[in-house]
């Protein structure tokens, strides 16, 4: 038994030392409450709006991690994060480098209208220059609700993997729980890439169809980024595609075409905020789901509930993102059916439409001029110097041509909410 005494003394000494170290750490290290306050202050300074942090916990075992809960901005439409888990690597941290094994977001609400109010309190350049470089291996997010400018909520999930220098390797964005699947997969190409240029393959599955394409991001000498790319949608059912994003479609039919996109910016967020797209599309055949053209003509526009089958609908749509929202321009829009053909163009921004159309009828009315303008739901229709039949056609056809074919095609290609019918005239 005397041999066991040194081990007891050693164990007692080690235990006492550990207790003293723990007491010293508890005295020296800030509490979770103080860390949460510091995190809220740092976020407030960076974003330019007051930020509250409900709780912040850090753990070393079994693996190092920091958990932040109940984060919100003080805005009319607050941005909310329910739970954010960050897993740092300790050894690089001891040498002054920040390397994160993963960042996992569980639950968040992002209001598009509130993003414009962020960034006013960005850190000073000298402080940014002194910050250690950041490396990140993986990001995951679940139950992320994006609320558009028009108030339509859509839930997303996804993940992304990065290599050294925050170079994106793969990324997936999906609408969870949908059948058929709705997702976007981005994969970086490793062969044939020029210096300063990253190339990616794009694969979209949506509404029973798909869209394949490519994109490249070029870094200029001054650090600015230039994005260019294209997608070729095939066999995408328009009505199901809009339903996948909680929007009601005015049209049905399978769409095909080609989309080209581009943007310039200092970082990926600016690329999204400044994105410009141009899409040439064809829907053959197409159906206007809430407008019966024959019935409208027969009743001189007093009744037009029903559907209209179109032999073909085609045209070009341009979009431009900006801090004030997305601007939609509909150019060279052409529709044809057994009794009429129509062409026109339109502009839609912040739920306000300006459109012009010309309708040719089999009975000899050619190039009937029309305009439609105003907020969606209160559109004003004007037919210039038209005979009686032209007035009837202006009342009956324009909702199909101007609204359901002109303005609504923006909804088909990514706008918000259903189109509004033109007001009926007495």
Looking at residue 414, what is its pLDDT? 34
Least confident of 61-70, 160-169, 222-231, 408-417: 408-417
- Say what the pTM is: 0.76
Is the pLDDT at 128 greater than 60? The verdict is no
The secondary structure of 201-216, three-state, reads EEEEEECCEEEEEEEE
Looking at residue 257, what is its pLDDT? 93
Q: Rounded CA gap, 59 and 54, in Å?
A: 17
Q: pLDDT band at 115, cuts 50/70/90? A: confident
pLDDT per residue as tens digits for the range 219-253 = 988 889 999 999 999 999 989 998 999 987 878 99
pLDDT: is 392 or 273 the higher one? 273
Q: Rounded CA gap, 168 and 271, in Å?
A: 15
pLDDT: is 128 or 188 the higher one? 188
Q: pLDDT band at 117, cuts 50/70/90? A: confident
Kindly report the average pLDDT of the chain as a whole number: 76
Q: What is the DSSP string of 392-407?
A: HHHHHHHIIIIIIIII
Looking at residue 278, what is its pLDDT? 95
Looking at residue 408, what is its pLDDT? 32
The alpha-helical segments, DSSP class H, found in 90-215 are: 90-94, 112-115, 125-130
Q: Rounded CA gap, 153 and 102, in Å?
A: 27
Q: pLDDT band at 291, cuts 50/70/90? A: low
3-state SS class at 297: helix
Q: Rounded CA gap, 62 and 60, in Å?
A: 6
pLDDT: is 247 or 68 the higher one? 68
3-state SS class at 274: coil
Q: Rounded CA gap, 330 and 57, in Å?
A: 51
């Amino acid at each position: 038994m005397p041999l066991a005494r040194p081990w007891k003394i050693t164990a007692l000494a080690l235990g006492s030392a550990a207790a003293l170290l723990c007491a010293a750490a508890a005295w020296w290290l800030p509490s979770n409450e103080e860390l949460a306050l510091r995190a809220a202050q740092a976020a407030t300074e960076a974003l330019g709006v007051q930020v509250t942090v409900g709780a912040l916990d850090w753990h070393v075992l079994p693996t190092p991690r920091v958990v932040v809960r109940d984060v919100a901005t003080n805005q009319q439409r607050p941005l909310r994060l329910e739970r954010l888990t960050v897993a740092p690597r300790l050894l690089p941290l001891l040498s002054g480098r920040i390397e994160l094994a993963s960042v996992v977001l569980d639950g968040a609400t992002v209001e598009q209208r509130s993003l414009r109010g962020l960034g006013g309190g960005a850190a000073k350049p000298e402080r940014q220059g002194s910050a250690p470089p950041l490396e990140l291996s993986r990001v995951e997010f679940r139950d992320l609700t994006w609320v558009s400018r028009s108030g339509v909520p859509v839930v997303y999930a996804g993940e992304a993997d990065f290599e050294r220098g925050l170079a994106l390797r793969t990324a997936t964005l999906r609408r969870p729980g949908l059948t058929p699947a709705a997702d976007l997969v981005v994969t970086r190409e490793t062969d044939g890439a020029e210096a300063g240029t990253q190339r990616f393959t794009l694969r979209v599955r949506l509404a029973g169809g798909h869209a394949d394409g490519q994109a490249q991001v070029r870094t200029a000498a001054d650090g600015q980024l230039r994005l260019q790319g294209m997608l070729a949608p095939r066999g995408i059912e328009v009505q199901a595609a809009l339903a996948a994003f909680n929007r009601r479609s005015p049209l049905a039919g399978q769409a095909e075409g080609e989309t080209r996109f581009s943007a310039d910016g200092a970082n990926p967020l600016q690329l999204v905020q400044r994105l410009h797209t141009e899409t040439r599309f064809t829907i053959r055949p197409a159906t206007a789901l809430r407008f019966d053209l024959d019935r409208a003509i027969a009743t001189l526009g007093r009744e037009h509930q029903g559907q209209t089958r179109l032999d073909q609908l085609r045209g070009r749509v341009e979009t431009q993102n900006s801090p004030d929202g997305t601007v939609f321009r509909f150019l060279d829009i052409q529709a044809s059916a057994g009794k009429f053909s129509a062409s026109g163009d339109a502009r839609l921004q912040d739920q306000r439409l300006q459109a012009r159309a010309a309708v040719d009828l089999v009975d000899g009315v050619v190039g009937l001029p029309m305009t439609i303008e105003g907020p969606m739901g209160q559109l004003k229709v004007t037919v210039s110097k038209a005979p009686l039949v032209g007035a009837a056609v202006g009342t009956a056809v324009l909702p199909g041509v101007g609204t359901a074919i002109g303005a609504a095609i923006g909804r088909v290609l990514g706008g918000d909410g259903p189109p509004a019918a033109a007001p009926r005239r007495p």
